[in-house]
Structure 1
């Protein structure tokens, strides 16, 4: 997979999956641009950007060609349905969906100019597999899956591929409260048929494939990188 001198924008690369992916692409010789509220410790060009207050002008200084766009921001707002407010839903939709819409719209001409660009978005296993207390995040990430398929159809004529990855619980700063003790880690490991929760590198590897020439015939797909959570029931 050759990434040398290709241009990639990763939104949300300050930690977790986005950080791991940025590191991997930089090591492969790519030109990586990151956007988030916190500057990551990476040899990459950084733009301040806030998913709750998106500013399309943030990206004015990007190159005229983008070979890939990856939108990583997400939320884990787990509450009983009766305790979820309209504000909870709106915040999750803003960060998970509308932030992605804003970034894609701001960079669409750059993606078209590449002639073979790839967009990678992120859903969650909770969209396909019903889970209690996930109403708000599953609703907003479900919208991401709909957006993925719609944009894949619309952008195909421009040779822009659009795919999404739907992980299960992954050991990142976003999930720290769910993995805050050995007991919680052990319980979470046991819930996954493969016997462990995900690592950021597990998900970043899939994203890297979708950005590469090896993934050039893949579009409109939702990839369940989830340790078997969505498809396997152990005896």
Structure 2
């Protein structure tokens, strides 16, 4: 039970997380540009575009957790990567997470949790991942800094996934050959699912009462073992 604010709950991991929490009897505020394409008596939509410059809306009430899901996959070699693209990725991934936590920290109940999302690329060097590695590396730094600042009242953790089958990743998975090649890169020989990541987020929000400041890898073994 409890109330949660999920940024980016209209698709992918955020959508699956919202459904999981709603199924447990929780209330969810879905904060994103578009109205979610599913309904539930305990689901509420608050419109906000995290890629823009508008201030976050005021929300009243006490919450058990915050989750920031918006992200980007901007894979380019450095000779074609523009500074403006890097800045845009940093704003969405890192500044967005910072602003979200800052805006709603005062709404959190004692014992609440905050969950951010990083990437396997923040710690594992991969070609063409400079922009995402920089912005998600900043998210990991934000995680440990806020965990120290908010302890012992609020827990702050971060999930670092590998490639996951979401609309955001569809250009990387839109053919059978791409799916097979990307699955084969992982020791567990499959692509991640939104359910894989949502279940970890639920654990961090509801059960991980003695965890804070942790970067949890959910990546099919990529970047950890060779196989």
Find the counterpart in structure 2 of residue 20 from structure 1: 16
Find the counterpart in structure 2 of residue 32 from structure 1: 28
Which of 143, 150, 170 aligns to 1:176? It is: 170
Contact 2:165/2:194, CA 8 A, preserved across alignment: yes
Contact 1:54/1:99, CA 8 A, preserved across alignment: no
CA–CA distance in structure 2, aligned partners of residues 227 and 46 of structure 1: 33
Shift of 1:56: 3.8
Find the counterpart in structure 2 of residue 227 from structure 1: 220
* Larger fraction in helix: 1
Equivalent residues in 2 for 1:39-188, closer than 5 Å: 39-40=35-36, 41-43=38-40, 44-58=43-57, 60=58, 62-111=59-108, 114-157=109-152, 159-188=153-182
Say which SS state the counterpart of residue 161 (structure 2) adopts: coil
Structure 2 stretches lacking a partner, 5+ long: none
Contact 2:115/2:158, CA 8 A, preserved across alignment: yes
TM-score, normalised to structure 2, is 0.96
Contact 2:48/2:56, CA 8 A, preserved across alignment: no
User: How many residue pairs get matched?
Assistant: 224
TM-score, normalised to structure 1, is 0.93
| C-alpha RMSD of the superposition | 1.0
Structure 1 stretches lacking a partner, 5+ long: none
